[in-house]
Amino acid sequence: MKNKKTKPRIVKGFRDSLWEESLARRRMIEKIQEVYEKYGFLPIETPALEYVDVLGKFLPDSDTPEGSIFSFESEDEWIALRYDLTAPLSRLIAQNQDLPKPFRRYQVGKVWRMEKPGPGRFREFTQFDIDTIGSSSMLADCEVCAALVDSLLALGIGKKDFELRINNRKIVNSVLEAAGIELLNADGTSSDVATKVLRSIDKLDRLGINGVFELLTKGRKDASGAFIKGAELPESKANIIISFLESPRGSRSEVLNFLSEFTKKSTEGVTGVEELTEMDSLFRTMGYDEETIVFDPTVVRGMDYYTGPVFEANLTFEFKDEKGQNKDFGSIAGGGRYDDLIERFTGQKVPATGISIGVDRLLSALSFLNKNEKNLGDAPVVVTVMDKDKIGEYIKMTNELRDANIAAEIFLGSGGFNKQMKYADKRGAAIAVIAGSDEFEKDQVTIKDLMLGKELSENIQEREEWLKEQPSQVTVPRSDLLKTVKEIISRYRK
């Protein structure tokens, strides 16, 4: 048993992130934070663990909390890892009712869902939420939408590459009403049939109209061959919903005209259209065009707790999957108004609205768009060690760079020049500082630009011209170390 080795393995549905991805994620989050803080949203944090009854039964793909959350029993109470950031926020608001209202918050954090893992689908992922609690104004909904749009633009995503789609749950409820589907049980909870219908509609982008029809009726087989039970609606009721989903698209005003006609017999539906009409007017005042923010009757969102406007941000560009097939990237954020969620704790309605970004999905999208900025300030300068008797001098060089707020490390391994250069390359270093006996005798230092090769043109002639103008390696007086490193870094700063 002494010699038995433990097999290194990772839990199914989880993954590691190395430094390049972690740094890219951090930079992306920082840019979004800047935008959110301009809108007056402030950061909060909540625990990863909550009591199961506090989290509630709101997951879009499960009928019971135990079916899709990581939970365990402790001191006679069931505790679980949070599956989103909204339920913990509602608990926090209920426990801190003296907070200023409206309360505007943002939060970045990991969440966990015991769902079937697949390509790009993990059981642990990061969400980035903004919410406004305590305002029933449609301007609150418009502002979370505007903050998201501004964040995507700040990340370098062009207007043509995304759209924010908006609908209203009151309108969706009126469609279910027209199809004869009861929304609530006798005890006021969501009916199972209505929940299944909403979750079926929410899969329209992924499954298409035929796939949704199958889920509304008898069910369908998924890609793995597993059978997914449907809502078992009669075809006549399913066709009412399908006809609504196949409604014509157009400008916001054209969609509003269609919705006005479709919902005119439903008091709740009329209210939903009025709310969208107000949002349309506010978006026009705020300067958001109809290419960026669109009204789309097919947006429903899978969570049970939405009560008004619902939002979904989609990336519209295509990419090739592992089989070389063109695919749409799809949704990277979603949310909506949830005026009843905090009432579970307080017994009183507290208006609330918010939107959540899927951080890992958005980061992947930026990679496809080549928008993940490489910040040379994050890439370390490696101070090589050519003469161990001069270790004190190498430490001084490293500290000089660090004191100037430049990331720097001294080589701590063993090996000569080639090995140290290989290390610097694997490490993703920006610059290598080299000083051997010749340099020390002349009070000089050699600085190697490790980024240069990645910036050179593929054209050989242009490459030679570049090398003449900006050699990849220079030897300068020791006193010019900091100045020269800064000059090289300035080449790559945007």
CA gap 471, 484 in Å, rounded: 12
Q: Is the pLDDT of residue 10 over 90?
A: yes
Give the H or E element holding residue 314: strand 309-320
- C-alpha dihedral (155, 157, 163, 165), degrees to nearest 10: -20
Q: Is the pLDDT of residue 458 over 50?
A: no
Domains in the chain (CATH in brackets) are: 19-368 (3.30.930.10), 381-492 (3.40.50.800)
Residue-wise pLDDT tens digits, 393-430: 999 999 999 999 999 999 999 999 999 999 998 888 88
β-strand pairing of 444-449 with 473-477: antiparallel
198: Cα within 13 Å, side-chain hemisphere: 31
Q: By the 8 A CB rule, do 123 and 112 touch?
A: yes
CA gap 343, 420 in Å, rounded: 61
Q: Is the pLDDT of residue 61 over 80?
A: no
- Which band of pLDDT confidence, cut at 50, 70 and 90, is reported for residue 436? very high
Residue-wise pLDDT tens digits, 139-197: 999 999 999 999 999 999 999 999 999 999 999 999 888 888 888 777 767 788 888 88
